[in-house]
Structure 1
């Protein structure tokens, strides 16, 4: 059985208008994707608001909760609050197409839209590149800066071929 089906938003049979769905996002959710996570212990909720129109669907997916990140400086785990929202327009066509940024086309015979990939991307894009624990003090940062290697950029004078230098002197005489 495809575990991603647990994240289907079934729209067939629903009246036009707004409909709410909610999904608990935990460790099992991320096993659906074959990537390595940069966090542990996700405790997230994805609230999906779908507005059904006659010819298209609008989705607002809000992800809230916490994950535990490893601090880049101290290697300690710390809770990181997440909250993000994305909006996607789903239209009907001949085949699945997600090549547009905010528009996804699904086959017109589909009766449900799977939100798993969007929820996954929403969470992954909310994780900061630089992970610094809020418990790091200014003193810790000063010590880190003091012992970090310093990059000195030295500009070297360009080495000029002596033959060109001799030609340049001849030119300057004229």
Structure 2
């Protein structure tokens, strides 16, 4: 986690109340995660609002900016806007636990909370699975739809008669 230290929000020594932080998210940030990105040239700002309470912390993280994507249809590059907001409750306990959806438990002895993973996941989930350039014409989309595979409606399979016979046998023995 040392390489992510720039994304630590130090809360010890701060008074109870709201505190604001701003983090710049660029290509170097995503390289820290050693994963393949489906985008290039991220230019994103993360506004972090932390409200410190006596026994817990509340975080609101807003990410806003752009990433460059490659269109799945035309293979042309385009800039895609990213804008998202998440909130997380951080409470103190014995050990780190992020098994709950919007609640993270950190050890009571910690003095900072690292928001890098939250920002990373938030941005990655903001990128669409299907990347379609806004420059694609309606005619191109209609042609693509015309030749796309259609979903087949299948009837529910009838139950196997062998299972029915076993079920009847079971019912007789009751």
TM-score by length of 2: 0.84
- Structure 1 outlier segments of 4+, above 3 Å: 149-155
Quickly say closer, same or farther: Cα 1:139–1:58, change in 2 above 3 A: same
Q: Per-residue deviation at 1:154?
A: 9.4
- Please tell me whether Structure 1 or Structure 2 has the larger radius of gyration of its CA atoms: 1
Quickly say closer, same or farther: Cα 1:153–1:57, change in 2 above 3 A: closer
Residue 34 (structure 1) aligns with: 34
Quickly say closer, same or farther: Cα 1:153–1:16, change in 2 above 3 A: closer
**1:56-103 C-alpha deviation (Å, 9 max, x unpaired):** 000000000000111111111110001000000000001000000000
Quickly say closer, same or farther: Cα 1:137–1:100, change in 2 above 3 A: same
Which has the larger displacement, 69-78 or 58-67? 69-78
Quickly say closer, same or farther: Cα 1:54–1:75, change in 2 above 3 A: same
Alignment partners' CA distance in 1, 2:60 and 2:42 = 21
Q: How many residues align?
A: 156
Q: Per-residue deviation at 1:151?
A: 4.7
Residue 105 (structure 2) aligns with: 105
Residue 81 (structure 2) aligns with: 81
Which consecutive residues of structure 2, in runs of 5 or more, have no partner in the other structure? 158-174
Q: Per-residue deviation at 1:153?
A: 5.0
Quickly say closer, same or farther: Cα 1:22–1:153, change in 2 above 3 A: closer
Which consecutive residues of structure 1, in runs of 5 or more, have no partner in the other structure? 159-174
TM-score by length of 1: 0.84
Residue 166 (structure 2) aligns with: none
RMSD: 2.0
Q: Secondary structure at the match of 1:3?
A: helix
Alignment partners' CA distance in 2, 1:55 and 1:152 = 52
